[in-house]
Structure 1
Amino acid sequence: MTEKTAAPAEKVDGPLLRIAFILVLGTFMASIDATIVSVGIDTLADEFHASLAEIQWVSTAYLLAVVTAVPASGWLADRLGGRRVWLVAVGVFLCGSALCALSWSVTSLIVFRVLQGLGAGVLPPTGQALLARIAGPARTGRVISVVAVVPLLSPVLGPLAGGALLGAASWPWLFLVNLPVGVAAILLARRHVPVLEPTSRRAAFDVRGAVLLSPGLAVLVFGLTEVAHGNTAAATVGVSAGLLMLSGFVVHGLRTRGTPLIDPRLFTRPPLGAAALALLVLGASVFGTTFLLPLYFQSGRGLSAWGTGLLLAPQGLGAAAGSVLVNRTIDKVAPRTLVVTGVTLVLAGTVPFTQLDHGLPDTAIALALLLRGFGMAMIGAPVMNIVYSRIEPQQIARASGALNLLNTVGGSLGTAALAVVLQDRLGARHQDVPAAFADTFWWVVGLGLLAAAGTTRLPRTRALRRA
């Protein structure tokens, strides 16, 4: 296939939307898989006669693999080309999915989930970077606003899909459902996604950075997960070792003469620093709430996975509506205005959950989730557009990896931290479930206020478009 260059035209035409749809299939698979499988944890525990502690590694191993894979995505895209890396990542994810469906023990399932996670970690940043290069700075904002809604929909669609699959078929279909989507994505991408020349064929791989960053993140997340499980010794070792390795990576990244896996200096350059903080805290808030609400609905209210998905559906509807608004205004309104408005709406939609112990009705929950979804759609796409429209094309892949890493890490750390808070509040509230969840949501509000502070440093004006 011949190389095509990014079009300078302002119009988001049919071919570009088709490319966006194809690339977003990878993000869709990667983001929805975690929520689909989480619904089937109890079923998997029964199938493999595993304890809760053992079966939780099906989710934890996937998460750790994702965190491990994200940092390398920028170097891979720069060296090998975004389209090739994306196709290989889809193939790795599908291979992992098929093997998961064939698992014969909980150990084999965990190993194959690691393979799945390695592919899943590369897909979103590579797809975003590739799409940004194909679209060009003038069209990035509007096309990103369309695809950015997918991760917001996965927490809603995942429980519904998982509940429906387990109601109609056996547990292997939790993984086999990925195969037709992935095969279609590969076939469509080979035909319609253009080949772009790699931006840096000679860039050496940052081995020392990889040894420090990816394992450091994985160990840190593992340590925080063990805090939630009450394993003090493992938690102390994990958190301490993780922070030490990450500190070592920062020192290495600042001193190395080569190109670090992720350059710490990127975050000192406006507007990436403020954007990174916004995405980090947004990830903690969004994924933290995604962890808390389904758990509350099922443990506090006794809802099924299907019922939980239905009650969460307004958040997906709000995200879809918000993405339409962002698509129409992202090139007309200052990015800070959109993001600050979005954070404000997310905060307004979170405060009602601090009153769960007062018998919050389903109508109020639905309206709060609708507001949260609308606000979340106004944050992610404008923040990514701020970055992608202000950096050179050769920096896009690594910047995309950095942003996705922060969002993923924010989600991981936020979920682990809120799990610890919830455990503590359950003890303090003497197992009064609604009151414990209400207390925990005050921490989510605090994360939202921190994100709001970060967004005040975003640019007031729109970027000047480069030809």
Structure 2
Amino acid sequence: MPTAPTAEDSPAALGPAPGQLGRILAVVITGAVMSVLDMTIVNVALDRLSESFGSPLETIQWTATAYTLALAAVIPAAAWAMGRIGAKRTYLTALSLFTLGSLLAACAWSAGSLIAFRAVQGLGGGLLMPVGMTMVMRAADRDRLGRAMALLGLPVLVGPVAGPVLGGWLVDTASWQWIFLVNLPVGAAALILAAKLLRPDSPLGAAASPRLDLPGLLSLSPGLALLLYGLSRGGESGRFLSPGVLAPLLGGAVLVAAFVRRALRVPEPLLDLRLLCDRTFAAAIGTLAPFTCGYFGSMLLAPVYWQQARGLSASAAGLLVAPVGLVVGTTMQIASRRVDEVAPRRLVPAGVAVAALGMLLAGLRTGTPGVPGWQVVGSLMVMGIGAGMVLMPTMTTAGRDLPAARMAAASTALSINSQLCASVGTALTSVVLGATGTTPAGFRTAYAVAAGLLALSLLPALRLPGRRGRR
């Protein structure tokens, strides 16, 4: 059945001007650096925030949870917003919200106000990744998409390396306000670059723009938020069968199920689930889901290990976490370029195996009292090599052969998958560590669970394309 044209089908959306890719990458990388830095800095500063506001750590952890919930609520609307007002305006809106949220967070006067302002940040942060990825995927030549995505992965190199070090230094030598104020110059630079370098798109009038699937939005966004809320509460308490945890989990599951049922029946759903009929996209999502659970869930462990099990300061913990981020980012740069030339079925499963081995070694090292610190860092660096071989190359493979009109839906689906699975992994890690305690046995068990999750991604990874190029 013929459908009305949408903004994604317009010449401006499908035909980027020469040199536009480089300009888009400059803008998106700047914005992504700000977002990744913020997440890694705040993680290191939770203890200091708890002291500054006189609130228990359980309350201050809601600064991260509120950000996550706002992120989940706004991501589903990314594809519609790009079709309605254009990718450039959507990205400018995301940057403005994130920068404003950073300023407000620095001015917070209580734990409650800080949590509210972090939610404002989350509304902007939730749009940055899917909109930025969509712009890059639309502009890149399919045969060189891996190189473009490698550059898009630069923030993953900068953020995890600079974030813990910068955050630890700011917390130890300055005030907590600076962990948010540091975003302001980067946000201002990103806004100026976006305004000047991005080409206006979506020239169609409002009548031709895609309609908002309001029932879909009202089911998917609250459903995801409830699921993440339940996972966060369960991770904190370790009691997933308590009413305060079970109710939001069940409510979220019902709403998401209702969205899935609707999305498969209406012609213009909020999120195109028919993407999963594409074998490569489905294999990529299946690979990323358990891998993201294990990888991002394990990121909670190292800072806790260095500060609580080894008694180190926030600055020292940041310095010891930084080499892992450096390895992940460097490997990602190499692997994302290689996926343009090497079959994903050869590259990604090898990365899964290396990452699972490194995670298992980290569990054995942290589970041994008095082990030299370099052995723990070395094991995590092995894991980082594997992670760099999996994450961005798999995302590149997922979208390489999709038509341009489906790029926004694909990047939105990848973002939702990443956010939800990272939250599941974090909750699971919190439960394991809460049950076993910050003891050698506790860290050994938590890292072993993470290694098992990474290993689960091996089977879908073997279903990725066996040769490079278009299907």
Residue aligning to 2:223: 216
Match for residue 85 of structure 1? 90
Equivalent position SS for 1:205: coil
Would you say the 8 A contact 1:152–1:377 is kept in 2?
no
Q: Which amino acid aligns with 1:363?
A: W
* CA displacement at 1:149 relative to structure 2: 4.2
Deviations 1:37-94 (A, max 9, x none): 1222222222222222322211111111111111111111122211111111000111
Query: Residue 466 of structure 2 corresponds to which residue in structure 1?
Result: 460
Distance 2:86 2:376 in 1: 45
Partner residue, 2:138: 133
8 A contact 1:6–1:136 mirrored in 2? no
- Counterparts of 2:157 and 2:70, CA distance in 1: 21
Residue 280 of structure 1 is matched in structure 2 by 289
* Corresponding letter in the other structure for 2:64: S
Instruction: Check 1:39–1:324 CA distance in 2 against 1; reply closer, same or farther (3 A cut).
Output: closer
| 2:270 is equivalent to residue 228 of structure 1 | no
In the alignment, the residues of structure 2 paired with residue 154 and residue 70 of structure 1 have an alpha-carbon distance, to the nearest angstrom, of 21
TM-score normalised by L of structure 2: 0.91
Task: Give the letter aligned to residue 370 of structure 1.
Answer: M
8 A Cα contact 2:165 2:319, kept in partner: yes
Counterpart amino acid of 1:224?
A: L
Q: Contact 1:7–1:136 (CA<8 Å) still a contact in 2?
A: no
**Residue 441 of structure 1: aligned partner:** 447
- Partner of residue 197, structure 1: 202
Matched, 1:450 2:459: no
How far apart, in 2, do the equivalents of 1:317 and 1:159 lie?
A: 12
CA distance in 2, matches of 1:372, 1:146: 21
1:227–1:420 contact (8 Å) kept in structure 2: yes
Show the counterpart of 1:48.
Answer: 53
| 1:423 aligned partner | 434
Equivalent positions of 1:397-416 (< 5 A) are: 397-416=408-427
How is 1:29-108 mapped onto 2 (pairs within 5 angstroms)? 29-108=34-113
**1:318/1:372 contact within 8 Å kept:** no
Counterpart secondary structure, 1:271 = helix
Bigger mean CA deviation after superposition, 153-162 or 346-355: 153-162
* 2:256 is the alignment partner of 1:246: yes
Offset of residue 316 of structure 1: 2.1
One-letter amino acid of the counterpart of residue 50, structure 2: A
How many correspondences in the alignment? 454
Contact kept? 1:206, 1:261, Cα under 8 Å: yes
| Deviation readout 1:170-191 (Å, 9 max, x if unpaired) | 2211111111001101111222
What is the distance in 1 between the residues matched to 2:66 and 2:344?
Answer: 36
2:331 aligns with 322
Tell me what 2:279 maps to: 270
Larger CA deviation: 67-76 vs 323-332: 323-332
For residue 354 of structure 1, the aligned residue among 359, 363, 366 is 363
- Alpha-carbon contact 1:314-1:373 (below 8 Å) kept: no
Contact 1:74 1:401 in 2 (8 A): yes
Matched with 1:370 is: 381
1:4 Cα offset (Å): 8.6
* Letter of the 1:104 counterpart: W
Q: Tell me, in whole angstroms, the C-alpha distance in 2 between the residues paired with 1:424 and 1:218.
A: 25
Deviation at 1:97, TM superposition (A): 0.8
Structure 2 CA distance, aligned partners of 1:374 and 1:195? 38
Q: Offset at 1:317?
A: 2.4
- Offset at 1:462? 1.4
4+ residue segments displaced more than 4 Å? 2-9, 198-201
Please give the secondary structure, in 1, of the residue aligned with 2:390: helix
Per the TM alignment, residue 377 of structure 1 is displaced from its structure 2 partner at its CA by 1.7
Conserved in 1, the CA contact under 8 Å of 2:172 and 2:314?
A: no
Say if 1:68 and 1:218, in contact at 8 Å, map to a contact too. Answer: yes
In structure 1, the residue matched to 2:5 is none
Deviation for aligned residue 1:314 = 2.0
Q: Which residue of 2 aligns with 1:237?
A: 247
Q: Cα offset for 1:21?
A: 2.9
The answer (yes or no) to whether the contact 2:235–2:426 under 8 Å persists in 1 is: no
CA deviations 1:425-457 (Å, max 9, x no partner) are 23xxxx6x1111101111111101111111011
- Asked if structure 2 preserves the Cα contact closer than 8 Å seen for 1:39 and 1:159, the reply is yes
SS in structure 2 at match of 1:258? coil
Secondary structure, aligned partner of 2:279: coil
Q: How does 1:173-192 map to 2 (within 5 A)?
A: 173-192=178-197
Letter in 2 for 1:182: G
In 1, Cα distance between the equivalents of 2:145 and 2:234?
40
Is the 8 Å Cα contact of residues 153 and 392 (structure 2) preserved in structure 1? yes
Q: Which amino acid letter does the alignment assign opposite residue 401 of structure 2? A: R
Match of 2:300 in 1: 291
- TM-score normalised by structure 1 residue count: 0.91
1:408 deviates by: 1.1
Question: Is the CA contact (8 Å cut-off) linking 1:253 and 1:262 kept in structure 2?
Answer: yes
8 Å Cα contact 1:21-1:147 kept in structure 2: no
| Shift in CA distance, 326/52, structure 1 to aligned 2, threshold 3 Å | closer
| Equivalent position amino acid for 2:299 in 1 | T
2:153 corresponds to 1:143: no
CA deviation profile, 1:252-307 (whole Å, cap 9, x unmatched): 1112x232121222223211111112222222122111111211221111122211
Contact preservation (8 Å) 2:14, 2:404: no
In 2, the alpha carbon distance for the partners of 1:120 and 1:350 equals 29
Please report how far the alpha carbon of residue 386 of structure 1 lies from its aligned counterpart in structure 2 after TM superposition: 1.5
1:118 paired to 2:120: no
CA contact (8 A) 2:156 2:325 kept: no
Distance 1:194 1:372, change over 3 A: farther
Over aligned residues, Cα RMSD in angstroms?
2.2
Question: For structure 1, which runs of at least 5 residues remain unmatched after alignment?
Answer: none
**Per-residue deviation, 1:123:** 0.1
Q: Which amino acid is the alignment partner of residue 315 of structure 1? A: V
Are residues 1:168 and 2:167 paired?
A: no
Structure 2 alignment gaps of length 5 or more: 1-10
